[in-house]
Amino acid sequence: MEGDIMNVGAGLAIGLGAIGPGIGIGMLASKAMEALGRNPEAGAQIQQNMILAIAFTEAIAIYALVVAIIIKFV
């Protein structure tokens, strides 16, 4: 019984923890494409900043994964 509750908690931790970064990365890519459409000459700078922002956003999902693993196995 207690193991089932831990499994649900781990699932909720990673599930809810991945929603925010997923939405964030989608918004980042969308705005980067809009910026490229308005100013194609700045493509390299836009791409560099987009990749950096995606890396920071993805770190939040990794934190959620670590929390889910801790809940599951501790």
Long-range pairs for 23-32 at CB < 8 Å and ≥24 separation? 24/57, 24/60, 25/54, 25/57, 25/58, 28/53, 28/54, 28/57, 29/54
Sketch the domain layout of the chain as residue ranges: 2-73
Q: What is the pLDDT of residues 12-69, one digit of tens each?
A: 999 999 999 999 999 999 999 999 999 999 999 999 999 999 999 999 999 999 999 9
Q: Which pLDDT belongs to residue 23?
A: 96
CATH of 2-73, one of 3.40.50.170, 1.20.120.530, 1.10.3720.10, 1.20.20.10: 1.20.20.10
Q: Which pLDDT belongs to residue 34?
A: 96
Q: 39 φ, ψ to 5°?
A: -145, 80
Q: How far apart are alpha carbons 53 and 48 in whole angstroms?
A: 9
